[in-house]
Amino acid sequence: MFLDTANVEEIREAASWGVVDGVTTNPTLMMRAGTADLKTNTLKIVDIVQGPVSAEVVATNAAGMVQEAREILSWSAHVFVKIPATTEGLKAMREISTWPNGRVNATLVFSPAQAYLVAKAGATYASVFVGRMDDAGLDGMEVVRQARAIFDNYDFDCRLLAASIRHTAHVVDALLAGADIITVPFGVLQKTIRSPFTDAGLERFLADWA
């Protein structure tokens, strides 16, 4: 499970639970965290999780993406570069994936066909944005299920990542749909461990012990 945030304090707290394997960020999350220093904040996150940390390019053409990716990937062996699922993004992914350190998280995937193409272009992760599709009245989890079947059919060396997770039901549905990784906001992770039955049971045990 990954955490979808750039807030260092949230990451530190969640990492202490022992269930966070990595972190995904984007420019919006960086600004919400109050930082415009992408490198410094990314390396702070790497120090905490010691696992995959994705940082996103802002260029929209392949040459610019490749240039930014070269810089981002030089920061740490734990850092992945997020490249959008566009035609320019595919060009960049194909080149970056040939590098010894070419760790690519293909972002903004909204269809099984896009998932197929980014995997074919050499992406390490394909991030399917479930919640944004649900917001538009589409079935985001069905895209995860279909992408899973495609990846299995073609034996792609690309991990399916369920992103844009809105609530705990999304977490369970993504697990059942075959996502390799789920990236969740801190608030959703907090809710995932909670149950009123657990709280009530604990209160009963404590009352009986008193």
Of the residues 39, 44, 82, 120, which is catalytic?
A: 82
The whole-angstrom separation of Cα 210 and Cα 199 is 16
- Which residue carries 């392949």 as its tokens? 62
Q: Is 91 a catalytic residue?
A: no
Dihedral of CA atoms 204, 207, 209, 210 in degrees, nearest 10, equals 170
By the 8 A CB rule, do 56 and 29 touch? no
Burial of 171 (0-12, 13-18, 19+ CB in 10 A): buried
Q: Which residues contact 144 (CB under 8 A, 6 or more apart)?
A: 128, 130, 160, 162, 174, 177, 178, 179
Active site residues: 82
